[in-house]
Amino acid sequence: MSYLKSTCEEIREYLKVLEPEFPEWLEEYIETPAMTRSIYISNNCGMVYTKLADSDFFLSNLDHSVAVALIVWHFARNKKQTLAGLFHDIATPAFKHCVDVMNGDVMTQESLENMTSAFIKNSREIMNLLNRDEIKLEEVDDYHIYPIADNDSPRLAADRLEYSLSNALFLYDKLNLDEICELYSDLEVEKSEDGAPELGFRTKKLARKFVKATSEMSIIYRDERPRYSMQFIADILKGLSNEGKLKQQDLFEKKEAEIIEIIEASRYAEAFKSWRNATKILKSKEKPDGVYFVKTGSKVRYIDPLVKGERISKICKIAKGYIEKNLAYDMNDYLYLDFEMPNAEIIEK
């Protein structure tokens, strides 16, 4: 069964907003095993498995990748750029950025991006399609070379736009589908300060609405719940790896549900159960005793989009205030739940 037919109606309606005419040529690439494996990877880094989450909606890494590709296609109408967007997360492991945290990459969460090319190259199905379509590997294995697909924060590109829209709709109830349609219809390709193409808004009012939603979500992305949860999962994965119960390749070959089964059969079972049933993370200015705790920063995501060639922060004090509040968010507390965790490092960064 094809991806479009197998995904839920809510996702299909969202994808129609991003591109009403789904490009048929893209479907063959989506259906390759290298891509479809990511349908079992949660796009919110495992938060869907705990009551700490705002929503139990399972938004997959494949949903995100397909949506990014559709945004690129909508604005660029270029196959190579669109495929680069589709492939940008092809090397994503189970629990997504938790593995970056496990690798010590807390602040940028990009420790696995250099594996993208190898994943594409090792897919016989994708390489056959690329050869048929006369597309070179180096034209699709790095979406950073296409500014519509990706650029540096706080600029707006397909990747940053997509996770903002889908998170606002499915996970955090910040925007409904009609509002997303209104925002998306207001976007156009503009030129940034250095002349590079960049997605921007036509109207200040809608850009401000977008900044409000994304600034609020940026704080959610790094509040006590995901900061604690991502480090907690990372430490369990590291512990299982050190004990020989989880191989690195398992993170790319097993479904998250299968890895959870390994966790629940391990010495981390009780701690994992406590985390899954938790509804609130405890915070303290002082180091807590006798419990596993986390004290760490996190990647700061923020967007300061263009409006007719000018940054919204330059022309709107309200939007500037949203951004400044986001950037000022304090991440200095100790975070903990009331349990110990066997063989786990206490994280302080």
Model confidence band, residue 345 (pLDDT cutoffs 50, 70, 90): low
> What is the reported pLDDT for 113?
76
Rounded to whole angstroms, how far apart are CA atoms 71 and 66? 9
User: Which amino acid does the sequence have at 279?
Assistant: T
Residue 336's DSSP bridge partners are: 282, 293
What pTM did the predictor assign?
Answer: 0.96
> What is the reported pLDDT for 346?
59
Rounded to whole angstroms, how far apart are CA atoms 60 and 67? 11
Q: Which residue range(s) make up the domain with 339?
A: 1-349
Provide the number of structural domains found in the chain. 1
**275-334 residue pLDDT tens:** 999 999 999 999 999 899 999 999 999 999 999 999 999 999 999 999 999 999 999 999
Lowest mean pLDDT among 66-80, 105-119, 141-155, 165-179: 105-119
The CATH number for 247's domain is 1.10.3210.10
Do residues 35 and 90 touch, judged by C-beta distance below 8 A? yes
Model confidence band, residue 20 (pLDDT cutoffs 50, 70, 90): very high
> What is the reported pLDDT for 110?
72
**208-223 residue pLDDT tens:** 999 999 999 999 999 9
Q: How many other CB atoms are there within 10 angstroms of residue 293's CB atom? A: 22
Do residues 222 and 215 touch, judged by C-beta distance below 8 A? no
Residues 6+ apart with CB under 8 A from 177: 13, 14, 17, 169
**107-158 residue pLDDT tens:** 666 767 789 999 999 999 999 999 999 999 999 999 999 999 999 999 999 9
Q: Could you tell me which residue, 295 or 106, shows the higher pLDDT?
A: 295
